[in-house]
Structure 1
Amino acid sequence: MNVSDFDYELPEELIAQDPIEDRSSSRLLMLDKKTGAIEHHIFRDIIDALNPGDCLVINNTRVIPARLLGVKEDTGAAIEVLLLKRRDNDIWETLVKPGKKMKLGAVVSFGDGTLKGTVVDVVEEGNRLIQFSYEGIFEEILDQLGQMPLPPYITHRLEDKSRYQTVYAKYDGSAAAPTAGLHFTKELLAAIREKGINIAEVTLHVGLGTFRPVKADVVEEHHMHSEYYSVNPETADLINTTRKNGGRIIAVGTTSCRTLESASTPDGVLHAGDGWTEIFIYPGYQFHVVDALITNFHLPKSTLMMLVSALAGRDHIMNAYAEAVKDRYRFFSFGDAMFIH
């Protein structure tokens, strides 16, 4: 399977640069994965497509202000560091720009020395292990010095940091938001619960894979970076009971989807626990747990295009994307949504 099979033309003006004022008033394209039929709605209409007894699964990860701007101590050169994954002893896996300047032993200073980082390992390209030193509490220093790590296709400054968080974000750890969840308001979630739809929470901290393009020409040759996930016993019980009772499991976002598929067995049983996943879902994959997916519109040739194509079929997805472009939907992180059912 060729990566180019998942390419499409997107006019630049359709890349959403800012979040809309009311989260739930974004547009919603509903795609029937069996027939390919398409309907156009407003996101808050999602409640009409959910049935009592269904289970909505949300990713409660919280984005940390992981983008740090500093200077290299010996030369004063500007250095950007993106925190990706916490290791032990204040060591983080990071993405560094420009990577060439940050060799082993290089020291970068942030906030006039409030925080310092030393390169302790060169992993690949711009990927570095950095050990941080500071006085006080790391999270408080990060809140003070860090910026929200918006994707490179967003060029506008984000005035309100909370708009790159879901309303149910709980656990710090992500280098990017699980953006499908950005459309939900507390009021909409309350109405969904009132209708008899269960809401289950999982955690997946979005990491390096989000920022890495697929460089292989052949899909099967791409390797995903590992990301931490956690499924608690209550969530596992709720999802397994829902499936036994004939309800649908609806993942909010590809991160929730990948968590559920990582923690389940081929017979469709979800197991509680935590760990690291490198799951790569592309056409041909047989889903164990997920029946339907709420998701945003993804970058051409990305692993996320491959995941949605695995669920709905490549032809249905490419047709839906062509329709969304024609109908001037807004794309990517702050864009509109799709419900594959």
Structure 2
Amino acid sequence: MIEVNELSKKYYTFERGHTMREVIKTLVHRPMKEICAVDRISFKIEQGEMVAFLGPNGAGKSTTLKMLTGVLHPTSGEVRSLGLVPWKQRREYVRRIGAVFGQKSQLIWDIPPSDAFYMNKAIYSISDKDYAETLDELVELLQVGDVMRKPTRQLSLGERMKCEFIMAMLHRPELVFLDEPTIGLDMIAKENIRSFIRSMNKRKVTFILTTHDLEDVELLAERVMVINHGQIVVDDSLNGLRNRLGNKKSVRLTTEQPVPDSLPAGLKLLERIGPLEVELEIDTSALALKPFISQFNESYGIIDMAIEALPIEAVMKQLYEQSHTPVHSV
């Protein structure tokens, strides 16, 4: 569905001095600085995949997605998405893609969502039959029948986000870009949105997700791509990401005696939840679970313990901190 080959984007900006002398000099000659936002990245995405595209601020993910949607022209490289070049065949391309931006609304503030939906019907030239069928199906899936005729400004954030998804899906796109789709939502609204995304994905709709809510990644994504310093540093499954960091586990302990900050090799304090409750990271390649449990019970007295896979937040933090040298998937 998407094939990216050696894609790069460079920006040029002018540097301005801080002192009065430097400012005056820049009036005559302003030094130009080249910024490589995306540096020769290549990847493929198949139809029906659910891909999380992640990276720290300034890593290049937004620039990449803007090129994939056709908003930006690359400096060099190639993109074929749905068989089209996004920035060259934009009119045809945008009819086949959708987008949901958690921080930018497609709805119109003073009119009901139902009127905005009808506007999209005209924009995408959707037939009356297809429009009615799709709208009825999406309204039922998202359970927004009672809010569609309220002005958008009167909707809660959760109701508005559900209507944003209807706006994005009315023309039945094959590829959907999600940018922070659950930002600011409560737990129930998040689960409703995630359930809808999963149901659409089962119908072979391809999703590319960017988010800082790593719970979205854990509950939705099958594949994770991490970009840093303009390069793809990881392209793997969620389990594959954890395996890259070795045999590490998260251990939550409640003890009779407080656990100190200074810990032996193979252990790392992730969080101090309370005076007698901590979350640790254990590297089982350096410290096996059986002796760890025995030693901790003898030293601090274990009241309760839970051992789980390393939290995705800890995995991503370590990946961001590592070198930006690309690591190819196996």
**Pairwise TM-score range, normalised by the shorter structure:** under 0.3
Query: TM-score w.r.t. structure 1 length?
Result: 0.22
The structure with the larger Rg is: 2
Query: TM-score w.r.t. structure 2 length?
Result: 0.23
